[in-house]
Amino acid sequence: MGTRKVAVITGANGGLGYSIACRLLDTISPSVPLTIVVTARYLRKAVETINRLRAYASNRDLLSFDYVLLDLSSISSIDEVAHQLLSRYTHIDYLFCNAGGGDFTGIDWPAAFIEVISGPKNAVTHPHFKRERIGRISRDSLGWVFQINVFANYFFVKQISTLLSGGGRVILISSIETEIAHKFDPEDVQLINSDQPYVDSKKELELMHAAIAERWAEELDVQIYLTHPGICQTSIFAEYLNWFTTFGMLCLFYIARWIGSPWHVITPYKGALAPVWAAVDAVPEADPVDGIVYASATDRWGRPYVKPTHNASTEDRKNGAILVEVMDKLVEDSLERIKVEDK
């Protein structure tokens, strides 16, 4: 029996988050004591997720669960969760920053039809037909999508950095769609004016990683891996699809995979391969954290593998430094505001 491992998975009740937990259970030996800390916004979701995971791993004796209620759209909630973890644990081995989302409003169906007819593989790899709300502001007076996908992860990791130091691993979840992101705008870091804030926020996550991964590895011995799950079925856009369009989308996924796309992994469990590999199996000397995205991929027959992609450019590092400087100031401002609210 080895030392107990502790894994925190944000958004563990969702398709990819739940699949990360399942794959983690399948990857780490049952002889290793393991605690999985589930985060969810609501108690019911947290309890349901833990019950499902208990059933999934019913043969493991050295497994325990914990939960915290986390709302990424509230900096106070993130700060409270950080304090809870600091009071319960002395070390966290794996932090999967999976939770997040987009402020989608629907699908431009005529544009979707044209894109599918023009190039079905590209239409389901780099779609331009998803509609997003522009200018949504969080209760913390920040760009809402920027907050939940970028700043919340940065703030959370900084707040629990003492638990991660000395070998902990942080797994960030990006997206293949960053290939169609807008150019970074230092005048709109919070993406309030962006017409595709979800994609642009995932690109900012990559910029953030390019700015901090090497430094945190050297200064804190925290390995921050950047991954993406390929393209798989999740609930992030499900409300805008019915059974017919869902079936059509799946057919296009399989077609795209068959004609050569490595990214259409389709199932969340296969999408969870790269994040779990980065947490458990990656070797920093051979699999460096700096500037690389490790992606879940499959061959034509659906056999999954991890595919390194996208080396950060000099411009990415420059823009990442600007982004981190802005976020460091936001961290200071947020902590000051929390102090005032607590008085």
Question: pLDDT tens digits, the chain, 343 residues: what are they?
Answer: 568 899 999 999 888 999 999 999 999 999 999 999 999 999 999 999 999 999 999 888 899 999 999 999 999 999 999 999 999 999 999 999 998 888 888 888 788 888 888 888 888 888 888 889 999 999 999 999 999 999 999 999 999 999 999 999 999 999 998 989 999 999 999 999 999 999 999 999 999 999 999 999 999 999 999 999 999 877 666 666 777 777 878 888 888 899 889 999 999 999 999 999 999 999 988 899 988 999 999 999 999 999 998 788 999 999 999 999 999 999 999 999 988 887 6
Residue labelled with tokens 């100031």: 329
Residue type, 112: A
174 tagged catalytic: yes
Q: Which of 202, 270, 294, 296 is an active site residue?
A: 202
Q: Which of 74, 174, 175, 194 is an active site residue?
A: 174
Domains of the chain: 5-342 (3.40.50.720)
pLDDT of res. 316: 93
198 tagged catalytic: yes
Cα separation, 11 vs 178, in Å, equals: 21
Residue labelled with tokens 């319960």: 88
202 tagged catalytic: yes
pLDDT of res. 2: 61
pLDDT of res. 321: 96
pLDDT of res. 237: 60
Q: Which residues of 282-297 are buried (b: 16+ CB within 10 A; e: fewer)?
A: beeeebbbbbbbbbbb
pLDDT of res. 307: 95
Cα separation, 5 vs 42, in Å, equals: 25
Note whether 10 and 46 are within 8 A (CB).
Answer: no
The tokens for 290 are 């700096």
Q: Which of 67, 198, 225, 269 is an active site residue?
A: 198
- Output the 3-class SS for the chain: CCCCEEEEECCCCCHHHHHHHHHHHHHCCCCCCEEEEEEECCHHHHHHHHHHHHHHCCCCCCEEEEEEECCCCCHHHHHHHHHHHHHHCCCCCEEEECCCCCCEEEECHHHHHHHHHHCHHHHCCCCCCEEECCCCECCCCCEHHHHHHHHHHHHHHHHCHHHHCCCCEEEEECCHHHHHCCCCCHHHCCCCCCCCHHHHHHHHHHHHHHHHHHHHHHHHCCEEEEEECCCECCCCCHHHCCHHHHHHHHHHHHHHHHCCCCCCCECHHHHCHHHHHHHHHCCCCCCCCCCEEEEEEECCCCCEEEEEEEECCHHHHHHHHHHHHHHHHHHHHHHHHHHHHHC
The alpha carbon of residue 240 and the mean position of all alpha carbons in its chain are separated, in whole angstroms, by: 22
pLDDT of res. 124: 82
User: Model-level pTM greater than 0.85?
Assistant: yes
Measure Cα distances from 178 to 25, 89, 197 in Å. 30, 35, 11
